[in-house]
Amino acid sequence: MKKLSVLFLLSFFSLLIFATSVQAQTTPEDYFVGTWNVKAFGLPDGDKDLVIQFEKKDGKLTGGFVDPATKKVINPFTSVELASNKLKANFIAPEQQMDVYLTLEKKDDTNVTGSIMDMFNMEGSKAK
């Protein structure tokens, strides 16, 4: 019985170490890479559904807003910055031709919260 307890304990610690090592390999950059379905609330023209895509190029995050019909980036980000689990992306708003930023923060494994210009709240989830 004592050998079984020791074996169980060793198995538990091995699993714990493995899970910690896998979690450490997922960087905040990797979390944001992919396509996100985001809803912006309270914009001047009403609530808006957005598709946002991030990819890693030359070790940096890039991306932009995606046209859902063509699946192509129609408004690329001018810059993307990442600090811990929070992302800030700048883009040129087509209607006003002014520099605007949005922030996204990791909520859980597949969801984000954020805002546009710290005024308009956003919620989103990773596309499947």
Instruction: List the domains of the chain with CATH numbers.
Output: 28-126 (2.40.128)
Higher pLDDT, 103 or 19: 103
pLDDT band at 27 (very low <50, low <70, confident <90, very high): low
What's the pLDDT tens digit per position in 50-67? 999 999 998 899 999 999
What separation in angstroms does the CA of 75 have from each of 10, 67, 109?
A: 52, 9, 26
Whole-model pTM?
Answer: 0.75
Residue 83 tokens read as 């600090």
What's the pLDDT tens digit per position in 74-116? 999 999 999 888 999 999 988 788 999 999 999 999 999 999 9
